[in-house]
C-alpha cells in the first residue's frame, strides 16, 4: 500500500496546479484572480523600462518626456571646496548608477521604495555662481552666464538661481520621490536645498511616442524641435568646444512661466488661435493643415489681413536666422488653487542649446518687445545651468571640472 503523506500530496498538487496556471490566463487563490506571468509583465512594463546612465551625454535630455519630474537647486556650503566637490560627485555618480537601474543606494533608508527603474534619469548641472565660489572662472564656458533682465520678468528668488542642479525624472511618482530624497540626503553634507520645482507631462500610454504633449493652456507644446539622433539636434544642443568638462554637454535655460488661466479661459477659440498663431486642435500654423507645415508669415486672408497676426507668439518666436533654435523639453506644473478658484499653474520651460547668447536670448528679446501671449503668461523663475558631458563606466561625474 502506497504511503501518501500530506507533504507529498501538496507537492504533487502544486506541480499540477502550476502546469494549469501556466496554460491559462490566471488562477484563483483564496477566491482572487491571480494574473499570469504575461499579464504581470504587461502591467509592470512602465516600471521595468530603463534609460542607460553611461554614455557621451548625460541622460534626461535626448529622450521622450517622462511623466513626472523634479528640478532641485542646491547652494554649496561655505566650506565645500574642490576636494569636497569631487567626493560629492563620486557619491552622486554611484547613487545615480544604482537608481537608474532600479536599485537602492548604499545605506538606503527606504530600499523597498526602489521599485524599479521606471525610466528614471538624473541630469546634473552647474550654475554660474559655482565657478566664482570655487575659483574656477577659467573653467567657466563663455556661453554659461546669467540671463539679462527682461521686461516681462516677475522673477522670485524661491524659483531662481543656484550652484548645482539635480534634474530627476521618472514615469512613477514613488520611484521619483525616493530617488530625489536619496540624492538630497547624500548631498546635505556639501550643500543645502535652495528650491525644488515639480512638474508633469502626459502619463505613459496616453499619447503615442513622438507626439507632443499639450500645456495647460491647451496648446501643443514643442513643435519644430530638432529630432533625436539627427545632425540638427547635435549641432544645436551638444557643445564641442571650450573646457573639457562641458564638451558633450549643453547649456540649460530653465524658466518657470506662470499662466493666468482664469482670463485665458474666457477667450474664444479664434482669439486663442490668433494670440498663439496656431490651431488649437492639432497645432498647425494658421492657414495650414498639419502641425509640421511651415509657417507662412506673409500669407493674407481675403480681407488683406495677415493670417498670422503681428502680435502672434509664433511670429515673434520665429527664428530670424538658422542659429535661433534650441531643444525644448517642458513640463507642466500645478501646485494648488486659491480661495477664489485661481489655479497656480504654468510651465517649467526648458531650452537646451550650445550658446544662449546666439540661440535663446535673441528670440526672448523679440518676445519681450511685443508678444500678446505675455498678457496671460509671466516668467516667475529663471536659472541657467552648464550640463556636464556624460559619464563612462568607471568614471565620475564632472571629474575633469573639479
Please list, in sequence order, all residues whose beta carbon lies within 8 angstroms of the beta carbon of residue 136, skipping any fewer than 6 positions away.
82, 130, 401
Active-site annotation holder among 172, 221, 368, 371: 221
Mean pLDDT score across all residues of the chain: 91
Q: Sorting pLDDT into bands at 50, 70 and 90, what band is 5?
A: very low
More confident residue, 74 or 38: 74
Domain residue ranges in the chain: 6-43, 46-387
- Percent pLDDT > 90 in the chain is 83
Q: What average pLDDT score do residues 71-91 get?
A: 98
Q: Does residue 246 register a pLDDT over 80?
A: yes
Please list, in sequence order, all residues whose beta carbon lies within 8 angstroms of the beta carbon of residue 210, skipping any fewer than 6 positions away.
64
Lowest-confidence pick of 108-112, 130-134, 177-181, 212-216: 212-216
Q: What average pLDDT score do residues 199-226 get?
A: 87
Q: How far is CA 183 from CA 74, 165, 337, 374, in A?
A: 11, 11, 30, 36
- Specify the pLDDT at position 204: 87
Residues 82-107: tens digit of each pLDDT: 999 999 999 999 999 999 999 999 99
**Distance from C-alpha of 345 to C-alpha of 214, rounded to nearest angstrom:** 13
Q: Does residue 386 register a pLDDT over 90?
A: yes
Identify whether 221 is a catalytic site residue: yes
Q: Does residue 4 register a pLDDT over 70?
A: no
Q: What is the pTM of this model?
A: 0.89
Q: Sorting pLDDT into bands at 50, 70 and 90, what band is 31?
A: low
**Distance from C-alpha of 211 to C-alpha of 222, rounded to nearest angstrom:** 10
Handedness of CA 230, 68, 53, 357 (dihedral sign): positive
Amino acid at each position: 500500500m502506497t504511503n501518501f503523506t500530506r507533504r507529498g500530496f501538496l507537492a504533487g498538487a502544486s506541480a499540477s496546479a502550476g502546469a494549469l496556471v501556466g496554460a491559462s490566463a490566471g488562477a484563483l487563490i483564496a477566491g482572487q484572480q491571480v494574473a499570469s506571468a504575461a499579464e504581470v509583465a504587461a502591467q509592470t512594463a512602465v516600471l521595468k523600462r530603463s534609460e542607460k546612465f553611461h554614455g557621451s551625454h548625460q541622460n534626461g535630455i535626448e529622450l521622450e518626456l517622462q511623466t513626472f519630474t523634479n528640478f532641485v537647486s542646491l547652494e554649496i556650503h561655505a566650506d565645500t571646496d574642490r576636494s569636497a566637490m569631487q567626493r560629492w560627485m563620486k557619491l552622486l555618480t554611484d547613487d545615480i548608477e544604482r537608481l537608474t537601474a532600479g536599485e537602492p543606494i548604499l545605506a538606503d533608508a527606504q530600499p523597498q521604495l526602489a521599485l524599479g527603474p521606471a525610466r528614471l534619469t538624473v541630469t546634473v548641472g552647474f550654475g554660474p555662481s559655482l565657478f566664482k565660489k570655487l575659483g574656477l572662472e577659467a573653467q567657466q564656458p563663455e556661453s554659461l552666464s546669467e540671463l539679462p533682465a527682461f521686461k516681462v520678468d516677475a522673477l522670485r528668488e524661491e524659483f531662481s538661481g543656484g550652484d548645482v542642479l539635480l534634474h530627476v525624472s521618472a514615469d512613477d511618482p514613488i520611484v521619483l520621490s525616493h530617488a530625489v530624497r536619496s540624492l538630497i540626503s547624500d548631498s546635505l553634507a556639501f550643500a543645502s536645498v535652495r528650491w525644488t520645482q515639480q512638474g508633469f507631462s502626459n502619463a505613459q500610454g496616453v499619447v503615442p511616442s513622438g507626439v507632443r504633449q499639450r500645456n495647460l493652456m491647451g496648446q501643443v507644446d514643442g513643435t519644430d524641435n530638432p529630432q533625436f539622433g539627427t545632425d540638427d539636434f547635435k549641432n544645436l544642443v551638444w557643445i564641442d568646444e571650450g573646457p573639457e568638462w562641458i564638451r558633450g554637454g549643453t547649456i540649460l535655460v530653465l524658466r518657470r512661466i506662470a499662466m493666468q488661466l482664469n482670463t485665458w479661459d474666457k477667450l474664444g477659440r479664434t482669439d486663442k488661435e490668433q494670440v498663439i498663431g496656431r490651431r488649437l486642435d492639432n497645432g498647425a500654423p494658421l492657414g495650414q493643415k498639419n502641425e509640421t507645415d511651415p509657417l507662412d508669415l506673409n500669407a493674407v486672408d481675403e480681407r488683406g489681413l495677415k493670417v498670422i497676426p503681428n502680435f502672434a507668439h509664433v511670429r515673434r518666436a520665429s527664428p530670424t536666422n538658422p542659429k535661433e533654435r534650441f531643444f525644448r523639453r517642458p513640463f507642466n506644473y500645478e501646485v494648488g488653487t486659491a480661495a477664489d478658484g485661481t489655479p497656480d499653474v504654468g510651465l517649467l520651460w526648458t531650452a537646451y542649446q550650445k550658446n544662449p547668447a546666439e540661440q535663446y536670448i535673441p528670440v526672448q528679446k523679440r518676445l519681450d518687445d511685443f508678444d500678446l501671449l505675455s498678457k496671460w503668461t509671466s516668467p516667475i523663475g529663471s536659472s541657467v545651468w552648464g550640463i556636464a558631458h556624460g559619464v563612462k563606466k568607471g568614471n565620475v561625474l564632472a571629474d575633469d571640472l573639479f
